[in-house]
Amino acid sequence: MDRDKILLTPGPLTTTLRTKLAMLRDWGSWDADFNAVTASVRKSLLAIVHGAESHVVVPLQGSGTFSVEAAIATVVPRDGHVLVLDNGAYCKRAARLTTLMGRRCTLMPFDEAQPVSAGDLEHTLRGDASISHVVLIHCETGAGVLNPLQAVADVCARNGKGLIVDAMSSFGALEIDARKTRFDALVAASGKCLEGVPGMGFVFIRKAILDGCAGNSQSLAMDLHDQYLYMEKTTQWRFTPPTHVVVALHEAIAQFEEEGGQPARLARYTRNYETLVAAMAALGFKPFLDPAVQAPIIVTFHAPADARYDFKTFYAAARRRGFLLYPGKLTTLETFRVGCIGAIGPTEIEQAVHAVALALQDMGIASGAPARS
């Protein structure tokens, strides 16, 4: 096979040739040309969330999780109390990193097959005045659930609590509008729905809280307040930037805008999702989530009931045919996940499902139907 394997994961993603080609040049990290690219990326990112009036955006080297950790450390005072709305694996990760940074943290558990409840959050906030900040995972890709960002933001605003949003797998695809959705910080990354390559996160911070963030972080490298001040003063990154990642993201954003921005990207991913679910259903596969709570980002499928099914064998068979699937992230059921995002369309999804059908044939499995519950 002479093409790259298609990545059906929640990131890294399949990228276009234009994005790949953008990385073929070396850049000086202090050079004016590179600083102009950084400035352009920051301006474009603010435009995507309509946040130029209300927020600043601070890029950070590293994976998306680096930026989640940096956002919480920068925004939450050391005596703050963070409530994490928990309906999946990435919620639990946010809680763990909050605790490791010495912030008081409480998990508010929900069913991993259901969105978090804004009503339950309101009740909890009214019962515990010590809570200073709420953490929400916008799209919890452990199962693929879409959480109610606007409703949660409204509850936090009404109760005077800071909201930190992990929008890692939603930013650029699902609507986020800072003019109507109040958040103190929102975190995303280069290698997700903007279809750049991994290696850079970015955090939107509300201007009204920015001065109060000084001195909160216990980390030198992850202090977003320091990173912001230095970047505003010099136009440069404080420490060595991921130059190739930044210029790839710059090119990816150009393609994002040419495609029609967030509405067009959501429309393509929705077509991918609809194609995937229909084609997998023809093979007997059943999604884990009710369609009403499913984001068109990544779909969790029940594993086939057939005793011959083994994920590693299944994965290897699909991989041989050019498609990389993703293991399940649920604790109670055997599942696997298939991403709908990246520089792919329904044609690639159809090819992927054909690869899945051939994988089942290899394993002697007649149907992908799960065990009856």
Confidence (pLDDT) at 371: 82
Confidence (pLDDT) at 1: 45
313-349: per-residue pLDDT in tens?
999 999 999 999 999 988 778 999 999 999 999 999 9
74-100: per-residue pLDDT in tens?
999 999 999 999 999 999 999 999 999
Confidence (pLDDT) at 332: 79
Amino acid identity of residue 325, one-letter, is L
Distances (CA, A) of 297 to 56, 119, 167: 26, 25, 12
Q: What are the structure tokens assigned to 181, written together? A: 């959705």
Q: What is the DSSP letter of 27?
A: -
pLDDT at 2 over 80: no
Distances (CA, A) of 52 to 22, 43, 306, 313: 27, 8, 53, 49
Mean pLDDT of 124-148: 97
Question: Which domains are delineated in the chain?
Answer: 6-10+261-363 (3.90.1150.10), 17-258 (3.40.640.10)
Q: What whole-number distance in Å separates Cα of residue 306 and Cα of residue 283?
A: 13
pLDDT at 71 over 70: yes
Sign, CA torsion 39/40/41/43: positive
Q: Is the bond leading into 242 cis (omega within 30 degrees of zero)?
A: no
Nearest to 181 by CA among 136, 241, 128: 136
Instruction: Identify any residues that bridge with 83 across adjacent strands, giving them in sequence order.
Output: 106, 134
- Which residues have CB under 8 Å from 79's CB, separation 6+? 104
Residue 319: CA atoms inside 13 Å, Cβ hemisphere, count? 11
Mean pLDDT of 200-225: 98
- Which residues have CB under 8 Å from 97's CB, separation 6+? 65, 68, 69, 72
Q: At what angle do helices 149-158 and 118-127 cross, to 10 degrees?
A: 20
